[in-house]
């Protein structure tokens, strides 16, 4: 795998605040990197070292799509069990590749990689955009943007970037896994089931392109589980990942979660123990910890997250997840410190502001909660607007209980502007105004 493709393989963020009650306990999963890559200091598989092209720089030789003749579409039909129907999946026609190299492009890619490793996301974004301006036909630059957006949980932007990477190079399995990962996020969109179904489709495409990619099988299992398929096919997907890579700690964690849902508690415990034992690097520790949080095992996750932060103290996801674990245990003082550190590293992290607002709301520090929610408002994506509206509504309710009707009216008004379809907000606003 090329150096820049290094993708966040984070588990599904199941926020515990009232603003994110989606009724699921899944951790989003799926390693988003080829089996040849190493893991990075972020919560994502690391960019692989590759042979330099033309210069001594550690940048890979690139292949891009050509405008010449196309190859026929390949159709791969999945074996279907009895009484079960599955659609035939087609791989997009692939254009022959030609070599591309531009030293300016490679230098910009290296700048982006280095800045990302240093958690300087502004600098990384600038470098990847510069690379994309130089070599728009090389998928790595736009893929790099998707990576840093995933790091910061900016899912809407990450999705757009990965879709563009696939358009540029439809033959890269990592891009399909990355997009499947992003689509598995339970954002407050009305088409979640459609998104999860599409996540499954892209995971299957990745398997078609690389049948020995353990992360593709793991992500397939996650997509199936999100769709409510607690069955043999989902279990086999996780076990296939483990068969390909016996050290696949995250697949063991996902398997442990699935087995627990199936009532196989002793096997589940064994799988979880394997996951903890094999989680020896920072990204894997974080990923396994987040699966644990999806099962409400916040105390267990805290131990792994503290270990991860000893080695990577500026990791924004580890800081965010630790802040969440601390908040659930009502350790608000430390949670606040940890979350602010996370936002210093990733100031555009919508989830960080939301969680900090929830933390203050739980302590009845309503002015502070309101302040953080307005910061979240500055970076909210369209698919998260209703979720933010619900958090504003929660603060408005608290103002009403405190008898601060004017403050409540102001907050209800903001909530109503974010979610115009919720009629109950109009009723609350009227009561707050005394109408």
pLDDT of the residue at 189: 63
Picking from 95, 26, 16, the residue whose alpha carbon sits closest to that of residue 325 is 16
Cα–Cα distance for residue pair 10/8, rounded to 1 Å: 6
Mean pLDDT for the stretch of residues 201-212:
97
**100 beta partners:** 62
Q: What is the pTM of this model?
A: 0.69
Picking from 224, 226, 216, the residue whose alpha carbon sits closest to that of residue 250 is 216
Cα–Cα distance for residue pair 393/373, rounded to 1 Å: 11
> Who contacts 351 (Cβ-Cβ below 8 Å, separation ≥6)?
13, 15, 153, 320
pLDDT of the residue at 406: 94
What is the residue-wise DSSP string for 52-118? BSSSSSS-B-EEEE-SSPPPPPEEEPPP--TT---PPEEEPP-PPEEEE--HHHHHHHHHHHHHHHT
Cα–Cα distance for residue pair 5/37, rounded to 1 Å: 9
- C-beta separation of 44 from 33 below 8 A: yes
Query: Which pLDDT tens digit goes with each residue over 400-430?
Result: 999 999 999 999 999 999 999 998 999 999 9
Alpha helices in 245-331, H assignment, sequence order: 249-261, 265-278, 282-294, 298-311, 316-328
Mean pLDDT for the stretch of residues 185-206:
87
pLDDT of the residue at 191: 80
Cα–Cα distance for residue pair 350/119, rounded to 1 Å: 17
| Assigned token pair, 320 | 């965010």
The Cα-based distances of 72 to 75, 90, 91, 262, 313 in angstroms read 9, 11, 10, 43, 49
Cα–Cα distance for residue pair 215/29, rounded to 1 Å: 9
The fraction of the chain above a pLDDT of 70, given in percent, is 76
pLDDT of the residue at 1: 32
pLDDT of the residue at 100: 54
Tell me the pLDDT band of 372, cut-offs 50, 70 and 90: very high
Domains of the chain: 18-268 (1.25.40.10), 349-435 (1.25.40.10)
Query: Which pLDDT tens digit goes with each residue over 16-56?
Result: 222 222 223 333 333 343 333 333 333 333 333 333 333 33
Q: Given a cut of 60, is residue 96 above it in pLDDT?
A: no
Query: Which pLDDT tens digit goes with each residue over 107-147?
Result: 999 999 999 988 899 999 999 999 999 999 999 999 999 99
| Assigned token pair, 64 | 């891009």
Q: Given a cut of 80, is residue 4 above it in pLDDT?
A: no
């Amino acid at each position: 795998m090329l150096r820049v493709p290094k993708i966040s393989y984070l588990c599904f963020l199941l926020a515990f605040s009232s603003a994110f009650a989606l009724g699921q306990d899944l951790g989003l999963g799926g390693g988003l990197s080829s089996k040849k890559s190493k893991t990075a200091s972020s919560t994502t598989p690391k960019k692989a070292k590759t042979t330099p092209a033309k210069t001594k720089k550690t940048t890979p030789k690139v292949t891009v799509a050509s405008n010449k003749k196309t190859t026929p579409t390949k159709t791969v039909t999945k074996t279907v069990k009895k009484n079960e129907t599955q659609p035939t999946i087609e791989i997009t026609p692939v254009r022959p590749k030609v070599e591309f190299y531009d030293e300016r492009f490679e230098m910009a890619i290296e700048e982006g990689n280095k800045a990302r490793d240093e958690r300087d996301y502004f600098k990384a974004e600038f470098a990847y955009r510069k690379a994309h301006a130089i070599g728009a036909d090389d998928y790595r630059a736009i893929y790099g943007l998707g990576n840093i957006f995933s790091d910061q949980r900016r899912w809407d932007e990450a999705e757009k970037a990965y879709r563009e990477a696939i358009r540029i190079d439809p033959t890269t399995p990592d891009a399909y896994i990355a997009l499947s990962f992003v689509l598995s996020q339970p954002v407050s969109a009305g088409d979640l089931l459609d998104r999860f179904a599409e996540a499954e489709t892209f995971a299957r495409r990745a398997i078609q392109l690389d049948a020995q990619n353990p992360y593709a099988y793991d992500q397939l299992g996650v997509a199936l589980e999100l769709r409510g398929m607690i069955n043999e096919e989902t279990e086999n997907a996780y076990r296939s990942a483990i068969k390909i890579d016996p050290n696949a700690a995250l697949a063991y964690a996902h398997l442990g979660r699935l087995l627990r849902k199936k009532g196989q508690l002793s096997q589940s415990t064994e799988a979880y123990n394997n996951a903890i034992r094999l989680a020896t690097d920072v990204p894997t520790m974080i990923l396994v910890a987040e699966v644990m949080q999806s099962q409400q095992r916040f105390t267990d996750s805290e131990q792994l997250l503290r270990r991860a932060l000893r080695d990577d103290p500026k990791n924004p996801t580890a800081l965010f997840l630790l802040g969440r674990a601390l908040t659930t245990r009502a350790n608000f003082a430390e949670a606040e410190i940890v979350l602010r550190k996370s936002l210093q590293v990733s100031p555009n992290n919508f989830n960080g502001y939301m969680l900090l607002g929830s933390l203050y709301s739980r302590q009845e520090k309503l002015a502070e909660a309101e302040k953080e929610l307005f910061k979240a408002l500055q970076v909210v994506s369209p698919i998260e607007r209703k979720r933010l509206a619900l958090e504003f509504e929660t603060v408005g309710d608290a103002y009403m209980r405190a008898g601060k009707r004017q403050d409540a009216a102001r907050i209800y008004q903001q909530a109503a502007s974010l979610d115009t379809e919720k009629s109950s907000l109009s009723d609350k606003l009227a009561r707050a105004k005394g109408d």
